[in-house]
Amino acid sequence: MLDTVVFDFDGTLADTSELIINSFQTVYKKFFGEEKPVEYISQFFGEPLKVTIEREFPQPFEDVFNEYREYQSGKFNNDVKLFNNAAEILQYLKSKNIKTAIVTSRMRESVIKALNYFNIDKYFDVVIAVNDTINHKPHPEPLLKAINLLGTSPDKTLFVGDSRFDMECANNAGAIPVLTGWHAGSEELKNQYDIKYVINDLYEISRIIV
C-alpha cells in the first residue's frame, strides 16, 4: 500500500521555468555575448546548478553563480507561482496521513525560503536539498535518504517530478515515478521511461494513492 509521496520542487510544485531560463540567458549573454535557444536550456532542468555552470562556462563558478543569483534576486516572489492545486493536494495528503517530502536539486537555503514563502513548509516531513547528499539526481541517494528518514520503503513511495533526472532517480531507487504531463517533452519522457502515471493536474495524485 502506498504511504509516501515525494515531490521535486522546480517544475513540479512551482512554475520556475521562466525564471530559470531568463537567469541562464542573462549569464550566457554576460559571459558569451549571446543567448541560447530555450530548448537547449530546458534540457538542464532538474540538474544541480553547480553541475550545469561548471560544464557550460569556462569562467570561475563563483563569477557565473553570483551573476545568476543577482538576476534572480527580488524576482522569485513576482515571477514564480505554485502550480494549480499544489497546496490543495498537500493538504489532502496530510489529511490522509500520507508521508510527504521534497527531493530537489536546489540548495537547502533556497528551497526552505521558497517553501516558507508559499506557506507549504508545514506539509513536508523531510526536505532533501542538493547539499544534503554526496550524489544527486538521477543517482538514487537523495530519494533513498528521504525514504529512509520517513521510515518507509521505495515500493510504497511515489516520486513526482518533471524531468528525466526525476524519472531516472525514481527508477534507480525502486520507487514509483509520477510524471507531470504539462511540460514540453513530457510525452517523450513517458515513452522513454515507460511511465505508468502521468498527471495533468497535481490533484490527480489523490486518485493514484487510493
Angle between helices 17-32 and 61-72 (to 10 degrees): 130
CB 158 within 8 A of CB 198: no
DSSP secondary structure letters along 20-68 = HHHHHHHHHHHHHSS---HHHHHTTTTS-HHHHHHHH-SS-HHHHHHHH
Q: Is 8 a catalytic residue?
A: yes
C-alpha cell at 42: 530546458
Which residues in the chain belong to E strands, given as ranges? 4-7, 14-15, 81-82, 99-103, 126-128, 157-161, 176-180, 197-199
| Catalytic residue (one of 3, 8, 121, 125) | 8
Distance CA 145, CA 67 (A): 32
Active site residues: 8
